[in-house]
Chain A
């Protein structure tokens, strides 16, 4: 490494607070993807036969698909044979039974991230299913949840303990062949979270998973499946962060939500994957498929996301409004700074009668960031009296960034009511001067104005997350003005 590189490395490390690497032995497959790799993954996890068949089916579909190119993002072609599809912390076989058995270095990592499991256990009342690279290393609060009848465990464990539930719901919202990256995920997914909330149960705590990509050249392919049975309620928080690397890393996750009659799922994400450096070197490619289905009447699914990280974000958390009077919501803040690119939005598919959806999207572009909102509101013939309200606001900082809005509307039922509002504004010199005249520093002024801009979304986040999101925005925007 040359002196200049070292210097740059030092600078970047300073800027990206979570940019450390944990040195532990990992059990990693060599790069490359073929049927053998899939059989190996499935074998290592001792999966039931149906799972292996499902994976192989996905792999075959993937082979006949092309990478999607319609998004407003640019990157060199990905060599899928150069990626390792499995990385687990060493000593496979028997997983840790309690926190004491977890590698202390892993626990240290979580502490650096501000999520000390021990403390979390005591203080915060949040159950954490921590996914480290591909294998879940610790799950807390299992007992409390078990008493309520809630299943919250690593996906691989669910396959062992509750294969019938997994089999019943897996792929029913995002089928294997849904899109290129969903197919890839279906073939090689390594772990993730599984949640089942039984009929009439209100989950006694917020469920939380912290994802983190650690090993070099590993793609992370988690699979999350959340099922809320009739009349139940669950709130799920997902936070993501990754160490700093010069290479790009692929993250292709799939999240499926199923809300039965009268059930409600609230899914919140704060995503802070490594965004790359100022010149656009390194960073995560975050190509994610998230979708929920309101299967029964009066079901409700709510997505809230704050996206500040990743070199490229490509994701559209969506809701299929199948049940009558079901409700879908999407609240999003997406920030792109330096050379980050985001193409994100949602799809609201109205199928049942009296269904309604709300879309609030706030895009912030700074540096040379490119930020696109892409959203589809589709009202099928069956969806009498469907209602949608969409609001897409863009905030620009500086004159080298871009904001783009691509709203799509497909309405096949004349009784639908659709409202769409969009605004684009520049962070005003006037606003900055006003705040500075009152004594605020320029950076505090920017953060105040941006947080004001995002307020309607932050209000939807659970308290602790809202605070973290505000801090993240401020950190991500450091040096964006002036």
Chain B
């Protein structure tokens, strides 16, 4: 469903992604790991269509179409969801209100009717339970005054409501204590399905104990330098990113030559 070929991206003239390749098929969970500055979040933002990222070459295809042509809201309506690393506060706007607007917009673009208030509430309550969240959560302003853990939980809650085709989770595990991590992981696992692709971006392999990926890719200097299965993450944990970075240096050096 998502094919990335030789993607090069610059931010403020500096190359961040440098020939990245990735293929995600429906039903698969891919973990993207890598040290700080390796381009993990850039990848997430480029997929979601954030401004400020200049694609200098490469192709990104989503469901057979050129993804890079689409505005961010169009991508969202076609089923791409980004769980933000730093969820944004919107004072005065109730969580439930944004959610309803978002859901109805997405439904409308799929040719479905808007949900009426009762059905919407039913859906929302069900998903609240999944994420072990209290109902008062709905009526607080979007992310305002939320703890770090609550913000991350809220992202997965939104994802559960919007039921995307492709979900990109950008360091959803960072800043979570172990209990919150389990809840979030449960939420994500509940959303695993044969027609949904999930990309987990994480710095630590700890998350992968709870959400077991089908593939693990290691990013360094803007490229995928190693791909493998779950065992790659474990190996990485043991040997540290230094091992990868040395290796990446070889690849980059070879290419430059």
Taking Cβ atoms with an 8 Å cutoff, the residues of A that contact B are 428-431, 433-442, 444, 448-449, 451-456
Are A456 and B92 interface neighbours, CB within 8 A? yes
Q: Which of B19-27, B31-39, B76-84 contacts A (4 or more CB under 8 A)?
A: B76-84
What are some 16 contacts across the A-B interface (CB < 8 A)? A433-B51, A433-B72, A438-B102, A440-B101, A441-B73, A441-B105, A444-B101, A444-B105, A448-B90, A448-B97, A448-B98, A449-B90, A452-B142, A453-B92, A455-B92, A456-B92
Chain B residues, Cβ within 8 Å of A438? 76, 98, 101-102, 105, 158, 162
How distant is the Cα of A265 from the Cα of B94 in the complex, in angstroms?
30
B117: interface (CB < 8 Å): no
B141: interface (CB < 8 Å): yes
Given A451-B92, A454-B92, check contact A440 B102 (CB 8 Å): yes
Query: Taking CB as reference atom, which chain A residue is nearest B88?
Result: A434
Using A454-B92, A455-B92 as known contacts, list a sample of 16 further A-B pairs with CB atoms less than 8 Å apart, ordered by residue number in A: A429-B51, A431-B88, A431-B89, A433-B48, A434-B84, A435-B98, A436-B76, A437-B84, A438-B76, A438-B105, A439-B73, A440-B102, A448-B90, A448-B98, A448-B101, A452-B92
Chain B residues, Cβ within 8 Å of A444? 101, 105
Chain B residues, Cβ within 8 Å of A456? 92
Query: Taking CB as reference atom, which chain A residue is nearest B75?
Result: A437
B71: interface (CB < 8 Å): yes
B87: interface (CB < 8 Å): yes
Chain B residues, Cβ within 8 Å of A431? 88-90
Q: How far is the CB of A457 from chain B (nearest CB, A)?
A: 10
Given A436-B76, A438-B162, check contact A428 B88 (CB 8 Å): yes
How distant is the Cα of A463 from the Cα of B71 in the complex, in angstroms?
35
Cβ contact of A439, chosen from B50, B109, B141, B142, cutoff 8 A: B109
How distant is the Cα of A451 from the Cα of B92 in the complex, in angstroms?
8
B29: interface (CB < 8 Å): no
Within 8 A of A (CB), among B139-154: 141-142
Chain B residues, Cβ within 8 Å of A453? 91-92
Are A437 and B93 interface neighbours, CB within 8 A? no
Chain A residues, Cβ within 8 Å of B51? 429, 433
Chain B residues, Cβ within 8 Å of A433? 48, 50-51, 72, 88
Are B93 and A436 interface neighbours, CB within 8 A? no
How distant is the Cα of A444 from the Cα of B100 in the complex, in angstroms?
13
B106: interface (CB < 8 Å): yes
Given A433-B72, A439-B76, check contact A451 B93 (CB 8 Å): yes
Are A452 and B72 interface neighbours, CB within 8 A? no
Q: How far is the CB of B88 from chain A (nearest CB, A)?
A: 4
B102-120, CB under 8 A of A: which get 1 and which 0? 1001100100000000000
B39-60, CB under 8 A of A: which get 1 and which 0? 0000000001111000000000
B179-209, CB under 8 A of A: which get 1 and which 0? 0000000000000000000000000000000
Are B90 and A439 interface neighbours, CB within 8 A? no
How distant is the Cα of A433 from the Cα of B93 in the complex, in angstroms?
15
Q: How far is the CB of A406 from chain B (nearest CB, A)?
A: 24
How distant is the Cα of A168 from the Cα of B90 in the complex, in angstroms?
50
How distant is the Cα of A136 from the Cα of B40 in the complex, in angstroms?
67
Are B76 and A448 interface neighbours, CB within 8 A? no
Chain B residues, Cβ within 8 Å of A436? 71-73, 76
Query: Taking CB as reference atom, which chain A residue is nearest B99?
Result: A438
Query: Taking CB as reference atom, which chain B residue is nearest A458?
Result: B92
Q: How far is the CB of B238 from chain A (nearest CB, A)?
A: 36
Given A438-B162, A448-B93, check contact A430 B101 (CB 8 Å): no
How distant is the Cα of A433 from the Cα of B82 in the complex, in angstroms?
11
Are A439 and B88 interface neighbours, CB within 8 A? no
How distant is the Cα of A440 from the Cα of B142 in the complex, in angstroms?
15
Chain B residues, Cβ within 8 Å of A437? 48-49, 72-73, 75-76, 81-82, 84
Chain A residues, Cβ within 8 Å of B84? 434, 437
Q: How far is the CB of B116 from chain A (nearest CB, A)?
A: 19
Are B82 and A439 interface neighbours, CB within 8 A? no
- Of the candidates A429, A431, A434, A448, the one having the most CB atoms from chain B within 10 angstroms of its own CB is A434
Query: Taking CB as reference atom, which chain B residue is nearest A448?
Result: B93
Cβ contact of B93, chosen from A429, A430, A452, cutoff 8 A: A452
Query: Taking CB as reference atom, which chain A residue is nearest B105?
Result: A439
User: Sorted from nearest, which 7 A-B pairs have the closest CB atoms?
Assistant: A452-B92, A452-B93, A455-B92, A438-B102, A434-B88, A439-B76, A439-B105
How distant is the Cα of A454 from the Cα of B72 in the complex, in angstroms?
26
Chain B residues, Cβ within 8 Å of A429? 51
Within 8 A of A (CB), among B191-240: none
Chain A residues, Cβ within 8 Å of B93? 448-449, 451-452, 455
How distant is the Cα of A440 from the Cα of B75 in the complex, in angstroms?
11
Chain A residues, Cβ within 8 Å of B105? 438-441, 444
Query: Taking CB as reference atom, which chain B residue is nearest A442?
Result: B73
How distant is the Cα of A435 from the Cα of B106 in the complex, in angstroms?
12
- Of the candidates A440, A442, A449, the one having the most CB atoms from chain B within 10 angstroms of its own CB is A440
Query: Taking CB as reference atom, which chain B residue is nearest A434?
Result: B88
Chain A residues, Cβ within 8 Å of B98? 435, 438, 448
Chain B residues, Cβ within 8 Å of A434? 84, 87-88, 90
- Of the candidates A430, A434, A438, A439, the one having the most CB atoms from chain B within 10 angstroms of its own CB is A439
Cβ contact of A452, chosen from B77, B91, B106, B158, cutoff 8 A: B91
Chain A residues, Cβ within 8 Å of B162? 438-439
How distant is the Cα of A430 from the Cα of B89 in the complex, in angstroms?
9
Chain B residues, Cβ within 8 Å of A452? 90-93, 141-142
Are B88 and A430 interface neighbours, CB within 8 A? yes
Query: Taking CB as reference atom, which chain A residue is nearest B89?
Result: A431
Chain A residues, Cβ within 8 Å of B158? 438
Within 8 A of A (CB), among B59-79: 71-73, 75-77
Query: Taking CB as reference atom, which chain B residue is nearest A455?
Result: B92
